[in-house]
Amino acid sequence: MPSFSAKHFGRYVAVVLILVAIVFVYRHVPANPTTVALTFLIMVLLTAAFWGFRVAMVLSVLATAAFNFFFLPPVGAFTIADPQNWIALFAFLVTAVVASDLAERARNQANQATEQRLNVEHLYGLSQKLMTVETVPELMNAIPVFVVESFGGAGAALISNVKPTVYRSTPDVAIDAETLRNTLARGESTQQNNVSYFPVRLGVRTVGALAMVGVEVPRQTADAIGSLVGTAIERTRAVDELATSRAARESEQLRSALLDSVTHEFRTPLTSIKASVTTLQEASLSDNATRTELLTIINEETDRLNRLVGEAAEMARLDSRVITLQRRPLALSELVETVLDELRPSLRKHLIEVELPKDLPEVYADFDRIRQVLTHLVENATKYSGDDTPIRISAELKGDFVVTSVADRGPGIDSFEQTLIFDKFYRGERQRYAAAGTGMGLAISKVLVEAHGGTLTVVSQIGQGSVFSFTLPIART
């Protein structure tokens, strides 16, 4: 308060000095009374525009007295000889007062317009920041910080109608938590100890309360802030509920897909095993070749079941990001040779073409993991390709990566499905029941390749076949 009074006292002293300077100049420079009166009037207008109506009123009275004493006859006295000069003096005083009032109003309106523009800018900035937060806990912690960043002040605090927790912009914000809770309960604004408390509303419903320290918040601005915050809270809650509902729906769909896929895949080998065991039990087989064939079927189908269970367990581990890589420099030729040797029985009906450049550098990878990837790609090629069709395995160097490709002459994959085949349990519409599989192989392969820092992609055309390619970093010497 003392600094405020000193500032205004300085303004009064300044206008008196300026008035004295004008009188001094016109006393030594010949000028008619009209010129002097206009000069005084301009000074009054400028004072009202920059320093306010009160200072201008004081100047108007002093200017009227100076005009009478120094420039209206008889000069040097506060009396006026000519009645017309009374009219001129009164007209000057009225004009100065009215002009001061108009200038003060114009200044106030300009200040209000500037303040409103700034408030709109701050509200817009606050709304943009509130839109960037997607979860309710994160939003509740961020709102006080955003309010301080947008409107200034020493701090802010927020409470919602869902939890009694008070969220603060900084831990040491000096607000009265009980007053904040009362504001929430009553839905009324209040001002205490340089702290503004006002409700956060969504329509007519109070959903919280906000406190701002060290900044005076107009009623309209407080209502706008409360509406923005309330809308943001409800929007984020709705997004959270929608995400939860969607996740539950997708989880149910995933369970259905898993059940359908696993049931279908387990039933086939179990049927073969059951039939073989039943035949062995009921028949007296003297033919060793037949017995060997049935036992071979049981062995193969048991391996198939074991592989299905292994894929499910592997997918669970990969979903939890539990991936351990034993990486070392390895030659792709060694990898390809191992895979083809393991898959030799299933490759007998296909022509295998291998094209690996002799100067191809070694890759830095986990042998078993990448063998798993290549095995699945080759098995897919045999599964979805007709008999006697070629399967081509090739590799080339591209920058710091080696690109390995497996090409087949199968039915191809629709462009829409190319974006889905790497999802868990997804199987193509036309191959869903035509070929065995759970839809986990490509998903597992993609995760394993990405764990090596590479990518797994597909290029396909209906009726022309598909090319699956994965990249691996080269081994640094």
| pLDDT per position as a tens digit, 311-365 | 666 665 655 555 778 899 999 999 999 999 988 887 888 888 999 998 899 999 9
Percent of the chain with pLDDT over 70: 81
Higher pLDDT residue, 26 or 101?
Answer: 26
What is the C-alpha end-to-end distance of the chain, expressed in Å? Answer: 76
Q: How far is CA 119 from CA 47, 151, 227, 438, in A?
A: 28, 8, 14, 59
Q: Return the SS3 of 456.
A: strand
Higher pLDDT residue, 459 or 268?
Answer: 459
Cβ atoms within 10 Å, residue 290: 13
Q: Is the pLDDT of residue 207 over 60?
A: yes
Q: How far is CA 435 from CA 186, 256, 344, 432, in A?
A: 67, 19, 19, 7
Lowest mean pLDDT among 12-16, 167-171, 437-441: 437-441
Region 408-416 average pLDDT: 81
Closest CA to 354 of 433, 421, 407: 407
The pLDDT assigned to 428 comes to 53
The pLDDT assigned to 311 comes to 63
Higher pLDDT residue, 325 or 72?
Answer: 325
pLDDT band at 433 (very low <50, low <70, confident <90, very high): very low
Percent of the chain with pLDDT over 90: 12
Q: Is the pLDDT of residue 251 over 70?
A: no
The pLDDT assigned to 2 comes to 42
Q: Is the pLDDT of residue 408 over 80?
A: yes
pLDDT band at 434 (very low <50, low <70, confident <90, very high): very low
Its sign, for the CA torsion 353, 354, 355, 358, is negative
Q: Name the average pLDDT for the chain.
A: 78
pLDDT band at 122 (very low <50, low <70, confident <90, very high): confident
Q: Is the pLDDT of residue 403 over 90?
A: yes
Region 122-142 average pLDDT: 80
The pLDDT assigned to 468 comes to 93
Q: Is the pLDDT of residue 5 over 70?
A: no
The pLDDT assigned to 401 comes to 93
- Rg of the chain, C-alpha, whole Å: 44
Q: Is the pLDDT of residue 3 over 70?
A: no
pLDDT band at 455 (very low <50, low <70, confident <90, very high): very high
For the chain, helix (H) and strand (E) counts, in that order, are: 11, 12
Helix axes 219-282, 288-319, angle to 10 degrees: 170
The pLDDT assigned to 283 comes to 63
Lowest mean pLDDT among 65-79, 227-241, 360-374, 443-457: 65-79
The pLDDT assigned to 396 comes to 93
Higher pLDDT residue, 341 or 419?
Answer: 341
Beta-strand pair 390-398/351-355? parallel
Compute φ and ψ for 283, nearest 5 degrees: -100, 145
The pLDDT assigned to 13 comes to 85
The pLDDT assigned to 32 comes to 80
pLDDT band at 14 (very low <50, low <70, confident <90, very high): confident
Higher pLDDT residue, 174 or 425?
Answer: 174
Q: Is the pLDDT of residue 205 over 70?
A: yes
Higher pLDDT residue, 220 or 280?
Answer: 220
Are 199 and 209 within 8 A, CB to CB?
yes
Going by the DSSP 8-state scheme, the letter that residue 320 receives in this structure is T
Region 286-292 average pLDDT: 70
Most confident of 124-138, 237-251, 273-287: 124-138
The pLDDT assigned to 363 comes to 93
